[in-house]
Chain A
Amino acid sequence: MGYMTQISRDTVLRLAALSNLQLAEDEIDGLTEDLGRILAYVEQLDELDTKEVEPAYQVTGLQNIYRQDVVDEGDVTREDLLALAPSVKDSQVKVPKVI
């Protein structure tokens, strides 16, 4: 194959931070190995000539689906949504101190 992408432990930690994942210590080595293998595999695409090919960001050909700018009730109420939150106070979602 010849693909030898190495992912360092630091890269994995940087990706975990980008991904908002606070990994446990025993997850890091396995992920380092797995991500390296996956990236090595997908780098096969380097063999393809894609110069000046328009990227396929979608497959339907649909464009700008508009609707009238009117408020509709939707399927859920404010109360329905608040009921899903792990912690609520005074009709607001409560989280630890942010600033």
Chain B
Amino acid sequence: MKTIATYLGRPARENVEQAIEAARASESYHALLHLTAERAYERAELVDSGKVTGRLAGVPFIVKDNYLAFDGPTTAASHILENFVAPLQATVVERLEAEGAICIGKANLDSFAHGSSTENSAFGPTKNAIDPTKVAGGSSGGSAVAVALDIVPFALGSDTGGSIRQPASFNGVYGFKPTYGMTSRYGVVAMASSTDVMGCFANTAEDAELVTEIMAGQDTKDPTTLPDFFKPVSDVSPLKIGVISDFMTKDTDAGVRDRVNEYVERLKANGHTVENVELPLAKYTLAMYYIIVPAEVASNLARYDGVRYGNRSEEAQTIEELYGLSRDKGFVAESKRRIMIGNYVLSSGYFDAYYLKAQQARQKLIEQFDDLFSRYDVLVSPVTPTTAFGFGENTDDPMKMYLSDAMTVGVSLAGIPALSVPAGMSDGLPVGVQLIGQRKSDATLLALARSMEATS
């Protein structure tokens, strides 16, 4: 297993060569959509000549292909952006580069981050790193697999309803979704602006913490970023921890529950107090999510019209056809579903019954989380109800696919941080435990995971 430390203090050029070689050797997994080799070697030269120094000097990484980054296209795994060449870079990519990190490629994802398996990529799915007959998870599947296969020690993803945590869990790596507003969204293709959060994958909690520290911070280009607050903490004192019992019922695979229960026993052995808690609105979170997020998706994806950028239909004769055909050909089926659901719940006559109702339910959910966090420091649950599933298993009915996010979407709606921690295997596939904290308690979650790692 490779960590950031594996790469530090070595020639950046060799690190880049090695990562690109590893990426090519793993092509059959389809974790990457393309390499950014030209820029990677340019950056390596800057590091090797001492012009760029920092805490990640010469360390290679990969970004999900919905992050705007130089060298090659930024496609969001969609046809409409297939040839889109970003004229700027995401703030978090700039911050990592400023510390010497070197982006070597762009990772596959469900098109526009719409999905939970990477099967919705317009360019074909990514295979699971542990069992290539299973899905990678999603939507940041390529990033998770790239880290699990040791192509790079860390990768960036985006998490709107579980898109970092779920693929992390499916591939046995750490995946961190920070507090909403802790990391800048500037320069990342927008999905649902009220829950989109930028975060990372890594092989250790310590690496996830370092990358997060560099990514975090207020950005004048993203006015929803919070004033700086993230600061790693060295130790965790004994914590009060609640296990969300609503996610530990027989609807969750026994093998998943077993691994979570073992992790809970280890938390106790490390001096933490653990109790079962209830989150009565848990079972409604997916319904809230699939109203609010499609509404935001419909608005955010309205900009792709084939006029100013992106692919334009060659057949269009009229302006209406230009919009309609460019969008029909440019979006995958799942994106069309979400756009249309969004326009349904926002349309006059339905707005109050769906969108307003969901935002009111979301407020009640936030209050339930706040109440739990008045009594507990950290909440624990599985990340997903099952381990990685097979290709095509959940593609016949969109609701079946959505259910794999049942335990992650509530956290997104509340804007609170959560970390997916590898917790062993069930029938040969990785299981993840989700550590959930109150808003701005990001450092505690990472320190807790670090301390558990040290005693495992």
Q: Is the CB of A53 within 8 A of B364?
A: yes
Inter-chain contact A35/B337, CB cutoff 8 Å: yes
Least CB distance from B196 to A in Å reads 12
Let me know if B46 is at the binding interface, CB within 8 A. Answer: no
A85 touching B308 in the complex, CB below 8 Å, given contacts A27-B333, A41-B399, A59-B194: yes
Determine if B366 and A80 form an interchain contact, defined as CB atoms under 8 angstroms apart.
Answer: no
Q: Mark A38-73, 1 if CB is under 8 A from B, else 0.
A: 110111111110100111111110100101000000
One of B307, B336, B359, B366 near A27 (C-beta < 8 A): B336
Give the residues in chain A near B318, CB-CB below 8 Å. 96-97
- A59-B366, A65-B223, A76-B87 known; A86+B399 contact, CB < 8 A: no
Q: B336 near A96 (CB under 8 angstroms)? A: no
Given contacts A59-B415, A76-B87, contact A16 B340 (CB under 8 A): yes
Chain A contact residue count (CB 8 A cutoff): 53
Check A85–B319 contact: CB distance below 8 A.
Answer: no
**Chain A contacts for B345, CB-based, 8 A:** 42
Specify the chain B residue showing the minimal Cβ separation from A12: B340
**Using Cβ atoms and an 8 Å threshold, which residues of chain B touch A23?**
328, 336
B310-333 contacts to A, CB under 8 A, are: 310-312, 316-325, 327-328, 331, 333
Does chain B have a CB within 8 A of A29?
no
Number of interface residues of B (CB under 8 A): 70
Which residue of B180, B347, B398 contacts A38 across the interface (Cβ within 8 Å)?
A: B398
B295 → chain A closest CB, angstroms:
11
Once the chains are docked, how many angstroms separate the CA of A38 from the CA of B414?
22
Residues of B within 8 A of A45 (CB): 284, 287-288, 291, 354, 357-358, 361
Q: Is B220 an interface residue (CB 8 A)?
A: yes
* Known contacts A50-B361, A67-B220; A81/B87 CB under 8 A: yes
Confirm or deny: A22 has a beta carbon within 8 angstroms of a beta carbon on chain B: yes
Interface residues, chain A, with chain B CB atoms under 8 Å away: 11-12, 15-16, 18-24, 27, 30-31, 34-35, 37-39, 41-48, 50, 53-60, 62, 65, 67, 75-76, 80-81, 83-87, 93, 95-98
Give 10 nearest A-B pairs by CB, closest first.
Answer: A22-B324, A59-B415, A55-B359, A50-B360, A84-B309, A56-B363, A86-B312, A75-B88, A80-B87, A65-B223
B binding-site residues for A, Cβ under 8 Å: 84-85, 87-88, 180-181, 194, 220, 223-224, 226, 281, 284, 286-288, 290-291, 298, 302, 305-312, 316-325, 327-328, 331, 333, 336-337, 339-341, 343-345, 347, 354, 356-364, 366, 397-399, 402, 413-415, 439
A-B contact pairs, 21 of them (CB 8 A): A18-B347, A21-B328, A21-B339, A22-B328, A23-B328, A38-B290, A38-B341, A38-B402, A41-B286, A41-B290, A46-B357, A48-B281, A48-B361, A50-B357, A55-B356, A55-B363, A59-B181, A84-B84, A86-B310, A95-B322, A96-B321
